[in-house]
Amino acid sequence: MSETIFSKIIRKEIPAKVVYEDDQCLAFYDVAPQAPVHVLVIPKKPIESLEQLTAEDAPLMGHLWQVIQRVARQERVAESGYRVVVNCGHQGGQSVDHLHFHILGGRDLAWPPG
Ligand code: 5GP
């Protein structure tokens, strides 16, 4: 997997507004927010996309969902509602080749997404 901007954020080589961090993952505000709350949750393990996940990543993914829930509560969108998005591959709209979960909330979100 090639180096991405998210690897640099994990290593603190470029700044990000971090809202949660532990040994397995990092959560930080998206630089181009699409909603009042727009946080990215990423594993520190360099996994390129959802397509690269394997069975051995199951515990890590379970942990990430718990972190997503924690961040949604911390950002005060748990009660009003929020959306979790994973863009995968070119037509899926993935622009950074490091697996990431978007947490979007703080406004009414349209459905279906474009
Ligand atoms: P994707 O389009 O791959 O699903 O999402 C990538 C997201 O990363 C985009 O929403 C984009 O705004 C965000 N992003 C790209 N570069 C940076 C950066 O340097 N810092 C932060 N905080 N977000 C970034």
Q: Per the CATH hierarchy, to which homologous superfamily does domain 5-105 belong? A: HIT-like (3.30.428.10)
pLDDT in tens, 39-82: 999 999 999 999 999 999 999 999 999 999 999 999 999 999 99
Threshold 0.75, pTM exceeds: yes
Cβ–ligand 1 distance for 32 under 6 Å, the answer: yes
Rounded-to-integer distance, Cα 28 and Cα 16, Å = 6
Cβ–ligand 1 distance for 61 under 6 Å, the answer: no
Quick check: is 100 catalytic? yes
Out of 38, 90, 98, 100, the active site residue is 100
Contact 25, 13 (CB under 8 A): no
Strand, coil or helix: 43? strand
CA of 59 to the centre of ligand 1 (A): 25
pLDDT in tens, 3-37: 999 999 999 999 999 999 999 999 999 999 999 99
